[in-house]
Structure 1
Amino acid sequence: MNKSTPKKGQRKTRGKMLGALYFIVIAGFVAFVAGLGLVFYFVHDIPPFTMADQLPRETSFVLDSSGATVAKLHQEQNRVTVPLATMPEHLVEGVIVMEDIRFYSHFGISPRDLVRAAYLTLTGQDFQGASTITQQVARNRILRDQRVTIKRKIQEIYVALRIEREYSKTEILETYLNEVFLGGSAHGFQAAAQQYFGKNVSDLTLGESAMLVGILPSPNAWRPRTADMAPARRRQAIVLEQMVRHGRITDAERDAAIDAPITLVVPRTQPGETNLAMYFVDHVITQVEDILMQQRGITRAQASAAIHTEGLSIKTTLNLDLQRAAERAALEIFTQENGILQRMQREARTDRNPEIRRFAAEATNFTWANAHGLQPQVSMLVIEPSTGFIRAWLGGRDMIGRFGRDRVAGEQNQPGSAIKPLLVYGPALAAGRITAASTIDDAPVSYPTGNPNDPYFVPRNFDFNTFWGHTSIRKGLARSYNVMAVKLLQSFGVRNSMDWAKRLGITSFVERGPENDMGLATALGGMTNGMTLLEQVRAYNVFNNRGVLVEPSAILSIATRGGSVIYTAPAPAQQIVTTEQVAWLMTDILRGTVENQGGVMGTGHGGLRGGAMGRFAGQAAGKTGTTDGNADAFFLGYTPDLTAGVWIGHDDLTTGVPRFENNAPQLRTSVPPLAPPPANETPEARLQRILRSDPYVRGGFPSTGNNAVGSGFATAIFGRMMSIFTAGTPTAELPNFSAEWYEEYGVFGPPRRLGFVRQRFCSVSGKYPSELCPSEDVSYDWFIAGTEPRPDNPCDMHVVVRICTESGQLATPFCPPASVVTQVRVRRAPYAVLLDRSGNQLHPVDRANQVPFDDCTVHSPPGGTGGN
């Protein structure tokens, strides 16, 4: 036997080993191929990508006209991207030390960490992520999948390797620092710095940087809180210690950072503070959605998503200083307890209702039911006259959720007397039918309605049973006399007036149908649907803008996160509605609402008392508007720089504040008694029962002086806002409507280029005074050239008449000469018979000076039957 020949047993053993090795190789190859196939299968699920394609969801900004931030718009993530160069070095070093110490040396993954993670996983220990910064970027930017699975880990490694090949370390690190989650809604260190410390990331101290880096593993659990800083402080100390260990900072720097105080931002939720500009932001969002839908051909939902994720910069027309002044004025003007108005206006007709009288005597304080939210509510809109730029937008005294009630542009309310300059006086003035000196007899009148159930429309003034007689347009508008407005609308024509008012941009008129606005009650604001505050401000601005209509606008421009402007607002469209002369004269008349002109105090005068009146004398004009029971109260006012509207009212009128019937109070002959009060009735229930029983109870608006006028509070808000906003401006520097001095008249007046004439007139007839007009009836006013009273058409209402002193009637040839006196009286047309509750006929207050309607009934001709 050959010694070199292996033994049979040895050959069998070697064969088994070769077979086993062969099997291992084959199995390994199969496993490799299978694993490689699995890898390719997992990788195949990743869609084609580039870093630029996978832009992060970034916060958009709403800016005011100066570039200051008004609001940040984002979905669940608040992210603000800043360059790496603006981030402090100690922040970057802290992140490297804690998150990826070999960041600058690896190629996207750390093999050693991967092996360690695999070993721990295979041995049944906790699964370890072993993610480098690059892998985290791959997961957050490309995959957007936070699940910890084998598939996701393989995909993450593949994407990380690609990112490392295609992008620099600086680009990768910058992306990570701008996108990593840091608690709350903050994504990225810039958003976190603002969220926690109220500063930019570039201004972070070492201690603040270390605290933010420390919370990275569990941001919501460890984030700094005013109530408990201990977890964040512990994490800060760990980061600082690791930075010392790796030579990034010294021991002294660590100790100083630990000892340095940390000041957190206090959320703006303190009593008295607001975020009311969010109503304006809601309006802006809607406008931007419309722009993006038109530009991109997308749906509103897609446009909304773009606004909240694309990092847009939306520059608006808002003036934050004026916005703050408006917010502060609205908050300060109310007597508040938990934000609810607590005083009641005691104007109920209580003379025949002992229950109401007893309640009024006992209840010195009460709180409105708040079932429908904070009441009364308030809204305000302020625009720039020449451009229509919205400078302040106040949507309410609260902010409940996004896209709540739109009290400025979306809700219609009865305008009350605020409609008079727009529908009644403006059209007649523009047509040359009236001047500021024209007179109307404020006397009882009734108009048939054609409705058998309500046959007559009887307009009354705010003080109900008072009629003021012959009154000039200037005074009647300042005092807001209803009867004059109805008479003027009737004579000029509802259709003529409405056609002119629509040129002011009013679109709310209902002109057809069983319920419409073609009746005379519209002169008092009795509209079918009402008007929005935006509509009214736009219309009033025509008077403040030299007769030119301009559409209010909110957006100046929209830019992408990269700074590319994708929208620039066009120049505001303008339309000439009336002449500059008519606009100035209407403004001068409306100054009487807030000023004391010749002893005539307008309806808004009380609201601007307390110092504001003198400060704004000559440079404020406007009109009040109030509906019955003060359900709605308005002030539409302006200065040369601003046009504003203020509304106060209730969102839900079931709170006991009824509206007008046709916006004109109806004479009530009796007050029904209340039912016996239920046992154990609460004061709140008692109040509501009383309010429901008598519509003359005016709940909600406290008195602004001797006259309890709800619109006085709206006026006061306007005055307070202007006082706050102009506090730093000397009174002498405030612009004035009548800034030119007329030496020949000794007064300030309109710009001379407008060609106005100042002329005498009779305040009874509105014509040139005759020799019969007493001096107390002679006044001066401004007239558009060609419309002034002329001597060749003198007053024909002051006449000489013979009066019988015994009857007080016109003397006849049969009156004894001793009983006859010659007097100058005022000729007046007959007026309607209207009775008060006691059955007495109502007459104008100047009745004593009028020419009697009848001849003497005391002295009869010989053989007659008259006399005593």
Structure 2
Amino acid sequence: MNLLKRLLQTVFVFGLFGVLILIGLYFYVKSDIPSVKVLKDVQLQTPMQVFTRDGKLINQFGEKRRIPVKISDVPEPMLNAFLATEDNRFYEHFGIDPIGIVRSFIVLVSTGQKKQGASTITMQLARNFFLTREKAYIRKVKEIFIALHIERLLSKDEIFELYLNKIELGHRSFGIGAAAQVYYGKELNELTLPQMAMIAGLPKAPSALNPIRNPTRAKARRNVVLGRMLAEKYITQAEYHAAVNAPITAKRHGAEIELYAPYISEMVRAYMVEKYGTDTAYNSGFRVYTTVDAADQAAAQQALINNLHDYDRRHGFRGPNARYWQPEETPWTTEQITARLKKVKAIAPLHAAVVTALEEQSATIVMPSGNTITLDWSAMNWARAYITERRQGRAPKVASDILAPGMQIWVRQSEQKWVLSQLPQPASALVSLDPQSGQIKALVGGYSFKQSQYNRAVQAKRQVGSNIKPFIYSAALEGDYTLATIINDAPINHWDNSLGVAWRPKNSPDVYSGPIRIRRALAQSKNVVSIRLMRGVGLNNTADHILKFGFSDEDVVRSESLALGSAAMTPLEMARGMSAFANGGHLIEPYFIDRLTDAFGNELGTASPLRVCSEEALEADPYTCAPRIISEKNAFLVADALKSAIWGGGSWRHKTGWTGTGWRAQTLKRKDLAGKTGTTNNAVDTWFTGFNQNLLTTVWVGFDDASKPLGRAAYNTNLGKKQIVGGEAGATTAQPAWVSFMRHALQEEPLAPIEPPPGLVSIRIDLKTGLLSEKNDYTSRFEYFERGTAPTKYVLDSGSSTPFDDSLPASEELF
């Protein structure tokens, strides 16, 4: 009895001593133990992802790769793999596992080394969030206390879910969702059992055991995991044997970018960093859904790239990128060629290649992969020599006129075959938006983001040329002018006292029509008519009117050159301003972020754009409606005149037909389109902006060097009749990209014409004089007028009536 009593006293003393030690340890480390309440509002360091409006990933920003997953979405075999390997009693213990601790203590006593840990999943979570991986006793004590706190605060499933999303798994992947992407390029539910086991084996040593760095050690560790799963009866013997014999299939994968759209995603990145700060933007798991549609964005990028290559082809071949051997030297082997080509920085869609042999009208080339490809004559016959931007050499007749063995060239795929190519020298930008809301549908800032991160769509202020004229004509229509008003299209000689020279602005081309209606003058982009209209309205009045369209005062020069497009604007600013003619006279705010969610899809915010509203809605709630800047009637009249820029007028059968500068858009066969070309002096900048009621697109093409003209191209006898020749201009340089994009964007869209608003009348006028006409033939047409502004005189049958309306301002210069 005494022995039992002493034993109980000893146990009590040691127990009390142990409790006191634990209490002492707790108070000793208490100040170093962080509050685990933050786990209730945990913010995993998850990269920001940028998507198209329809959910296609276009970019990812952030130091750590993490794709958070809910435990309910994790396949059961993967859960079992982690449990079997890391903590099979996880759902039974209270945060620490006494059995595991005893086992670890026995190993320590028997070997004198800390070979086996006793960390539960909860303890690992505590370490991953709050501590280091240092093997120290005091860290283990802290780990235990934090784990106990976590178990009190969270459910087992919540702990397990946090653990699966937090653990480091190598190659900058954190959490199983990212690991599945990095190693296998798959979603969790697409992984095989061996792949799940591979990932479950990584927490022990993610750098040393990952299958990319050390496949042999990774396979051994994977098979340990499979053995544990077999021992715990999570898998059958047959499943085990099949899995341990499976090959290592891991390789490095990037984020599954479904559409590479770097310019718009960089706009998102810059906006998010400015709003939230770098750390929050990059690590909070934001999912930013842009306003661009994936198919439209892809079509816009391809249209811009193809258009720049078309320009480059007609201006000639500038020669090889490098020369690896000369004719008298020993040709390189395929191995030497591929080794060098792998060092050449690729610029999509261009691929480096080396010419190894020539036939009369073909060339053999070697690609970086080592594959040999034959370029036929149609793939290279465009390549006459480039001399200057205005001069090209003779059309080649044989392959040796163009290439030689040893040349490193660029090739790209066009119409499902490889063709000789080169890096285009000009730059370009395209912006497409919904004029009713400002939603950006597609945006491209250049040929290649890798080549230049300069986003010309929003950063390049370039002279707009004749793209300014719709705003000039809008100012005129605000006054006493109508679309039927006759203005004299004749040369101007204006003496400039300050310069001591005469200013002689010219039409382009230098052709004059004499008295001409305003509709036709705008459609044919008559420079001198634009100047006369601005003089009639007044320079400052015209400039003030232009500023209504959202342009900056510093960009709108107050000189008569304004009428010819000396103002400088970005393509996005031009698209915004032109939208007023498509939406009935409202100034919209372009926007490119549609909605924002967290990593789990919970909505954090949606766009609330200013939308075009009816007059009643605008008066009732001006804060959600885009403000009106011009009348609906004015907007319609300009837009309708711009339809003539595409479709022309007159009668070709009676030899009075004429075309507008944008006639190439007729190929789209849509009567709801309006548009305007733009070309500056010497074709330094070229533009085309076109629209219907629901979609407006602006394209700009020019050199980044704003002093360099785009030049002209002579006829290439190798290329047939459809080639573009002559001086570069808005209609030939920018409009083809617009046509290509709009063909895609509108292919399934119904016609969306801009309907005439109340307050307009349609009256038949004489085409020559602009006066009223009683004829119903090719000499007349119906024209729109604001009520009370239509001409009051009829044209005389003899045609002797003056073509000039009495309503012209007295100050109007006619000749």
Same fold? TM cut 0.5: yes
| Cα-to-partner distance string for 1:437-456 (whole Å, 9 max, x where unaligned) | 3333222212233333x633
- In the alignment, which of 134, 138, 157 is matched to residue 126 of structure 2? 138
Superposed, 1:84-95 pairs within 5 Å as: 84-95=71-82
- In the alignment, which of 630, 636, 643 is matched to residue 584 of structure 1? 636
Aligned to 2:736: 716
**Could you tell me how far 1:89 is from its partner in structure 2?**
0.7
Superposed, 1:530-679 pairs within 5 Å as: 530-560=568-598, 565-572=603-610, 573-598=625-650, 599-606=657-664, 608=665, 613-653=666-706, 657-658=708-709
Instruction: Call closer, same or farther: CA 1:445–1:234 in 2, change over 3 Å.
Output: farther
Pair 1:52-2:71 in alignment = no
Pair 1:784-2:785 in alignment = yes
Aligned to 1:383: 433
Pair 1:439-2:486 in alignment = yes
**Could you tell me how far 1:521 is from its partner in structure 2?**
0.6
Pair 1:405-2:454 in alignment = yes
Aligned to 2:281: 307
- In the alignment, which of 538, 557, 570 is matched to residue 493 of structure 1? 538
Instruction: Call closer, same or farther: CA 1:523–1:171 in 2, change over 3 Å.
Output: same
Instruction: Call closer, same or farther: CA 1:216–1:109 in 2, change over 3 Å.
Output: same
SS for the counterpart of 1:490 is helix
- In the alignment, which of 206, 223, 239 is matched to residue 193 of structure 2? 206
| Structure 2: runs of 5+ lacking an equivalent | 1-12, 318-386, 397-401, 404-408, 411-422, 611-624, 651-656, 806-813
Aligned to 2:66: 79
SS for the counterpart of 2:95 is coil
SS for the counterpart of 1:484 is helix
Question: Is this contact kept in 2: 1:623–1:636, CA < 8 A?
Answer: yes
Aligned to 2:770: 766
Aligned to 1:448: 495
**Could you tell me how far 1:36 is from its partner in structure 2?**
7.8
Give distance in 1, aligned partners of 2:104 and 2:210. 28
Superposed, 1:165-314 pairs within 5 Å as: 165-219=152-206, 223=210, 235-257=221-243, 276-288=260-272, 301=277, 304-314=278-288
| Cα-to-partner distance string for 1:801-846 (whole Å, 9 max, x where unaligned) | xxxxxxxxxxxxxxxxxxxxxxx9999xxxxxxxxxxxxxxxxxxx
Pair 1:361-2:362 in alignment = no
Aligned to 1:475: 520
Instruction: Call closer, same or farther: CA 1:446–1:38 in 2, change over 3 Å.
Output: farther
Give distance in 2, aligned partners of 1:37 and 1:536. 72
Give distance in 2, aligned partners of 1:388 and 1:358. 39
SS for the counterpart of 1:539 is helix
Aligned to 2:381: none
Aligned to 2:476: 428
Aligned-partner residue type, residue 550 of structure 2: G
Give distance in 2, aligned partners of 1:797 and 1:123. 121
Give distance in 2, aligned partners of 1:442 and 1:121. 104
Give distance in 1, aligned partners of 2:520 and 2:761. 20
Aligned to 2:299: 325
Instruction: Call closer, same or farther: CA 1:399–1:775 in 2, change over 3 Å.
Output: same
**Could you tell me how far 1:261 is from its partner in structure 2?**
8.7
Give distance in 1, aligned partners of 2:648 and 2:258. 35
Give distance in 1, aligned partners of 2:137 and 2:162. 25
Pair 1:462-2:462 in alignment = no
SS for the counterpart of 2:724 is coil
Question: Is this contact kept in 2: 1:378–1:646, CA < 8 A?
Answer: yes
SS for the counterpart of 2:392 is helix
Q: Structure 1 residues 584-593 or 274-283, which shifts more?
A: 274-283
Q: Structure 1 residues 584-593 or 92-101, which shifts more?
A: 584-593
**Could you tell me how far 1:274 is from its partner in structure 2?**
9.0
TM-score by length of 1: 0.68
SS for the counterpart of 1:183 is coil
SS for the counterpart of 2:142 is helix
Aligned-partner residue type, residue 410 of structure 1: Q
Give distance in 2, aligned partners of 1:44 and 1:343. 75
**Could you tell me how far 1:751 is from its partner in structure 2?**
4.8
Pair 1:392-2:442 in alignment = yes
| Cα-to-partner distance string for 1:10-53 (whole Å, 9 max, x where unaligned) | xxxxxxxxxxxxxxxx9xx9999999867744442233332224
SS for the counterpart of 2:40 is coil
Aligned-partner residue type, residue 607 of structure 2: A
Pair 1:418-2:467 in alignment = yes
| Cα-to-partner distance string for 1:92-118 (whole Å, 9 max, x where unaligned) | 001111222333344434456557767
Aligned-partner residue type, residue 315 of structure 2: M
Aligned to 1:666: none
Instruction: Call closer, same or farther: CA 1:224–1:600 in 2, change over 3 Å.
Output: farther
**Could you tell me how far 1:696 is from its partner in structure 2?**
6.0
Instruction: Call closer, same or farther: CA 1:162–1:792 in 2, change over 3 Å.
Output: closer
SS for the counterpart of 2:569 is coil
Aligned-partner residue type, residue 694 of structure 2: D
RMSD: 4.5
| Structure 1: runs of 5+ lacking an equivalent | 1-25, 294-299, 347-354, 512-516, 659-694, 739-749, 801-823, 828-849, 854-868
Instruction: Call closer, same or farther: CA 1:539–1:795 in 2, change over 3 Å.
Output: farther
**Could you tell me how far 1:243 is from its partner in structure 2?**
1.7
SS for the counterpart of 1:466 is coil
SS for the counterpart of 1:549 is coil
* Largest Rg, 1 or 2: 1
Question: Is this contact kept in 1: 2:309–2:424, CA < 8 A?
Answer: no
Give distance in 2, aligned partners of 1:322 and 1:132. 51
**Could you tell me how far 1:781 is from its partner in structure 2?**
3.9
| Cα-to-partner distance string for 1:555-588 (whole Å, 9 max, x where unaligned) | 3443445766544433513112223332222222
Give distance in 2, aligned partners of 1:47 and 1:797. 99
SS for the counterpart of 1:398 is coil
SS for the counterpart of 1:550 is coil
Question: Is this contact kept in 2: 1:275–1:399, CA < 8 A?
Answer: no
Instruction: Call closer, same or farther: CA 1:425–1:400 in 2, change over 3 Å.
Output: same
Give distance in 2, aligned partners of 1:232 and 1:620. 62
Question: Is this contact kept in 1: 2:390–2:713, CA < 8 A?
Answer: no
Instruction: Call closer, same or farther: CA 1:496–1:269 in 2, change over 3 Å.
Output: same
SS for the counterpart of 2:456 is coil
TM-score by length of 2: 0.72
Question: Is this contact kept in 2: 1:276–1:398, CA < 8 A?
Answer: no
Instruction: Call closer, same or farther: CA 1:758–1:95 in 2, change over 3 Å.
Output: same
| Cα-to-partner distance string for 1:532-564 (whole Å, 9 max, x where unaligned) | 222111111111102222211233443445766
Question: Is this contact kept in 1: 2:465–2:566, CA < 8 A?
Answer: yes
SS for the counterpart of 2:169 is coil
Instruction: Call closer, same or farther: CA 1:442–1:121 in 2, change over 3 Å.
Output: farther
Give distance in 2, aligned partners of 1:551 and 1:127. 64
SS for the counterpart of 2:698 is strand
Give distance in 1, aligned partners of 2:751 and 2:82. 57
SS for the counterpart of 1:625 is strand
